Structure 1
Amino acid sequence: MSRATCAVLAASLAVLGALAASAQEPPRPEGTVVPLDARDLDAAGLAVDRRALIAQALAGGAYEQAQVMLVEEATRNPRSPELLRLLGGVYFVRKEFLGSAIAFKKAEALAPLDERSRFTLAMSYVVLGRRDWARPELQRLSQSAPRNPLYLYWNARLDYDDGKYAAAVDGLLQTIALDPRFVKAHDNLGLSYEALGRNDDAIRSYQEAVRLNREVAAHSPWPPLNLGLLLSRLDRLDEAEPLFRESVRLDPRFPQGHYQLGTALEKKGRAAEAVEELEEAARLDASYAEPQYALARLYRRSGNAEKADRALERFLALKKEKGQAGGPR
């Protein structure tokens, strides 16, 4: 084994040993945004037949077709904020977040943005990873609608992302005061407490997130995962295992849940079950490096050197692709 490979493995071991740290759900604001408003179509001054075609496309979910027509209309009438707001909303629905942000900023140059449009713009910035652009938009929204918990939540989430954990706690407590059943707010409050080393408070927040998550229609696998991760880090594996199982039951295609369940099973000496979960995590996300490393360790322990070598090679290749020696996802 080369010196470079040894260095990668040493760094990876150090990081993988701390993988029980809880994880924040990736930004998926689409479900919290209503990016389209038919009133913009009514106010855009379009020909009756053209308006009918666009309305039909939007109502039928034919967003690519609607986008083509809206681009054509915005090109003919570049000073229509209504068309640009509609176009920004369609871009957002189609996950073209840069195009969405550009369209909304062009609209804002012509007329003030309404609350819905400004929030969609802010969420586009969040998904693009531009927290510095999202924050002033969210702050304006919080100032104009101080009792909207969604704006407080996203401001607090940006605080967490920026390492301002105490500020995140304050913002999330305000969010929960306005909406006590906001699952993500409780989950992120747990993350913030955990980052501050307040594990007892974190556990209580995670437990409330898990409880509420069981009662809502759209269950998330993240609250049980995060509570399980903290309990695992505290060597409370018997409590963590059922939470990881709950996570993958809520979303059988959740690779992080299968990985953490496999890791917990390995720690409990149940190697065959661990391999099954880790292989499922790797199958669900071919770019997920950590299951490959754990599998290499388990394969080698069981005497299957060939499979161990392949898994280790895959792990190293994935880390090289990401330009890093290790790190949790």
Structure 2
Amino acid sequence: DYVLLGDYLDADKWLTKMLEWTPDDAQGWYYLGRTKYNENRFAEAISAFEQCLKVDPKNVKAEDNLGLSYAGLGQNEEAARAYQTAIAWQSQLPVKNPGPYIDLGSLLLDNNKPDEAIANLLQAVEISPRDSKSHELLGKAYARLDQLPKAQTELEKALELSPQSTNLHCMLAPVYRKQGLAEKAKLEFDRCATMHGTHSSPETPRP
């Protein structure tokens, strides 16, 4: 509960104490890893997720978050391997988690590989069509490839799902402008500027 409420300091203390008594609690190790990650203590997060995976091998969420923690340390090859492992583990599962596809797509975008990113992000959208982040990253990838109508569609969908996201208004504006949609571009530029002067809603941490 502390983790979900964002009270990471109390969560850290409580989970660490609990795990002294119940070291085989995979969920406890997972939430300790999430807590360490949200505190930007990435090396400690890696240790916690590895403990989770010792207790619960092939835990897709733990492997995905292991990748995020490696990425936090700038160890992108290790991060990509973890995401790919998580994707492989869930290939035969009836219910899949979009997280590894989103995180691998984001990493590929950061490495200027938009084509490869799109393939993974489309998988994420298929699994969870109402995940705003998938549509946002797809829009970004299509914009990189100058596929502006597709970029527009994805960014508009992301904005529909997350209307308080300042970033999306700022991303949509140049996409409209490049297509000659001057009025729409001005409206989004204005919204971007206005919302940058206020506090937009932060992203909810991944559970």
Structure 1 and Structure 2 fold alike (TM over 0.5):
yes
Instruction: Measure, in 2, the Cα distance between the counterparts of 1:302 and 1:237.
Output: 20
Structure 1 residues 263 and 323: alpha-carbon distance in aligned structure 2, compared to 1, 3 A threshold: closer
| Structure 1 unpaired stretches of 5+ | 1-122
Aligned to 1:255: 132
Match of 1:286 among 163, 171, 184: 163
Asked if 1 retains the 8 angstrom alpha-carbon contact of 2:29 and 2:48, the reply is yes
Asked if 2 retains the 8 angstrom alpha-carbon contact of 1:190 and 1:202, the reply is yes
Aligned to 1:5: none
Residue 170 of structure 2 aligns with an amino acid whose one-letter code is Y
Asked if 1 retains the 8 angstrom alpha-carbon contact of 2:121 and 2:134, the reply is yes
Asked if 2 retains the 8 angstrom alpha-carbon contact of 1:232 and 1:264, the reply is yes
Instruction: Measure, in 2, the Cα distance between the counterparts of 1:203 and 1:273.
Output: 26
Instruction: Measure, in 1, the Cα distance between the counterparts of 2:193 and 2:127.
Output: 31
Match of 1:271 among 148, 157, 163: 148
Aligned to 1:132: 9
Instruction: Measure, in 2, the Cα distance between the counterparts of 1:286 and 1:313.
Output: 15
Aligned to 2:185: 308
Q: Deviation per CA, 1:83-141, whole angstroms, max 9, x where unpaired?
A: xxxxxxxxxxxxxxxxxxxxxxxxxxxxxxxxxxxxxxxx2x22221112122221232
State the TM-score, normalizing by the size of structure 2.
Answer: 0.91
Structure 1 residues 186 and 314: alpha-carbon distance in aligned structure 2, compared to 1, 3 A threshold: same
- Structure 1 residue 173: Cα displacement: 1.3
Matched, 1:190 2:71: no
Structure 1 residues 141 and 328: alpha-carbon distance in aligned structure 2, compared to 1, 3 A threshold: closer
Instruction: Measure, in 1, the Cα distance between the counterparts of 2:129 and 2:73.
Output: 31
Matched, 1:239 2:121: no
Q: Deviation per CA, 1:234-279, whole angstroms, max 9, x where unpaired?
A: 1122211111111111111111111100110111121111111111
Identity %: 32
Matched, 1:203 2:74: no
Aligned to 2:51: 174
Asked if 2 retains the 8 angstrom alpha-carbon contact of 1:187 and 1:206, the reply is yes
Structure 1 residues 141 and 218: alpha-carbon distance in aligned structure 2, compared to 1, 3 A threshold: farther
State the TM-score, normalizing by the size of structure 1.
Answer: 0.58
Instruction: Measure, in 1, the Cα distance between the counterparts of 2:97 and 2:164.
Output: 22
- Structure 1 residue 220: Cα displacement: 2.3
Residue 123 of structure 2 aligns with an amino acid whose one-letter code is E
Q: Which has the higher contact order (CA 8 A, sep 6+)?
A: 1
| Structure 2 unpaired stretches of 5+ | none
- Structure 1 residue 323: Cα displacement: 6.4
Q: Deviation per CA, 1:177-227, whole angstroms, max 9, x where unpaired?
A: 221211111011101111112111111001112222333344222210000
Match of 1:149 among 3, 26, 43: 26
Instruction: Measure, in 2, the Cα distance between the counterparts of 1:316 and 1:250.
Output: 34
Instruction: Measure, in 2, the Cα distance between the counterparts of 1:144 and 1:321.
Output: 45
What secondary structure sits across from 1:283 in the alignment? helix
Asked if 2 retains the 8 angstrom alpha-carbon contact of 1:213 and 1:223, the reply is no
- Structure 1 residue 328: Cα displacement: 8.0
Residue 305 of structure 1 aligns with an amino acid whose one-letter code is A
Instruction: Measure, in 2, the Cα distance between the counterparts of 1:323 and 1:232.
Output: 24
Instruction: Measure, in 2, the Cα distance between the counterparts of 1:289 and 1:248.
Output: 22
Aligned to 2:198: 321
Structure 1 residues 312 and 328: alpha-carbon distance in aligned structure 2, compared to 1, 3 A threshold: farther
- Number of residue equivalences: 204
Regions of 4+ moved over 6 Å = none
Asked if 2 retains the 8 angstrom alpha-carbon contact of 1:282 and 1:288, the reply is yes
Asked if 2 retains the 8 angstrom alpha-carbon contact of 1:190 and 1:204, the reply is yes
- Tell me the C-alpha RMSD between the 2 structures: 1.9
What secondary structure sits across from 1:215 in the alignment? coil
Instruction: Measure, in 2, the Cα distance between the counterparts of 1:145 and 1:258.
Output: 40
Instruction: Measure, in 2, the Cα distance between the counterparts of 1:170 and 1:134.
Output: 17
